[in-house]
Amino acid sequence: MKKGRYVVLASGRGSNFQAILDRTRDGYIPAECAALITDNPGAKAIFRAQDAGVPVDVVDYRAYPDKTRYEKALITAISRYSPDLVILAGYMRLLGDRIVDEFSGRMMNIHPSLLPAFPGLHAQRQALEYGTKVAGCTVHFVTKDMDAGPVIIQRTVPVLDDDDEDSLAERILTEEHQAFPESVRLFFEGRIRLSGRKVRILS
């Protein structure tokens, strides 16, 4: 049987990228990481990829005169590896309609809140300011609307009275490192069924 392939887009330290790599190498995820693609030539994720022997493509946003040409180059870079799945693991740019359409139903993102609550930047800070008692993370398919795609997996954590943004983010990140590899695994096992906004997980 043909082995599945995924590429990861990351802009920063790449901790979720590392969690997915680790679960790929131990056989939990039945696929291979074809490449890391980053918009940031200084991203720590590059070193994680190099340590794992994963090819790296740098598509530096600053090298292009506008978003349209940048995204054309990004689509070219992704398509070069013929991935079954595109994973956004700390990729910090909003994607335009063309690239979202190109990989519709085959692009996942993770967000550090229980969507639809607290989309966008500083989700942990939003949760603390709101006074919620429960926070968490959401893995979802990417759509044209920011942090609004169909939900695949959510995991929760309590918000403690003495939490600050960093402590809550750390607790949520622990759950991200479980939820993201699980979602990728379900995708490659063919256990995800997407119907409109609803995701059904087959047993």
Bridge partners, residue 7, by sequence: 35, 86
Q: Per-residue pLDDT tens for 120-179?
A: 999 999 999 999 999 999 999 999 999 999 999 999 999 999 999 999 999 999 999 999
CB 199 within 8 A of CB 151: yes
Give percent above pLDDT 90 in the chain: 98
Residues annotated catalytic, as ranges: 111
The predicted pLDDT at position 200 comes to 97
CATH classification of 111-203 is 3.40.50.620, yes or no?
no
Q: Do domains 1-103 and 111-203 have the same CATH topology?
A: yes
Among the ranges given (55-59, 80-84, 94-98, 126-130), the one the predictor scored with the smallest mean pLDDT: 94-98
pLDDT at 2 over 80: no
Could you tell me the pTM of the whole model?
A: 0.96
Bridge partners, residue 177, by sequence: none
Q: Domain-by-domain residue ranges, the chain?
A: 1-103, 111-203
Categorize the per-residue pLDDT at 1 as very low, low, confident or very high, splitting at 50, 70 and 90: low
The predicted pLDDT at position 194 comes to 95
Is residue 198 classed as helix, strand or coil in its secondary structure?
A: strand
Q: Of the CATH numbers 3.40.50.150, 3.40.50.170, 3.40.1400.10, 3.40.50.300, which one belongs to the domain with range 1-103?
A: 3.40.50.170
**Is the backbone peptide bond immediately before 65 cis, with ω within 30 degrees of 0?**
no
The predicted pLDDT at position 3 comes to 86
Q: Average per-residue pLDDT in the chain?
A: 97
The neighbour count for residue 75, using CB atoms within 10 Å, is 16
CB-based contacts of 4, cutoff 8 Å, min separation 6: 30, 31, 32, 84, 85, 188
**Mean per-residue pLDDT for 190-199?**
96
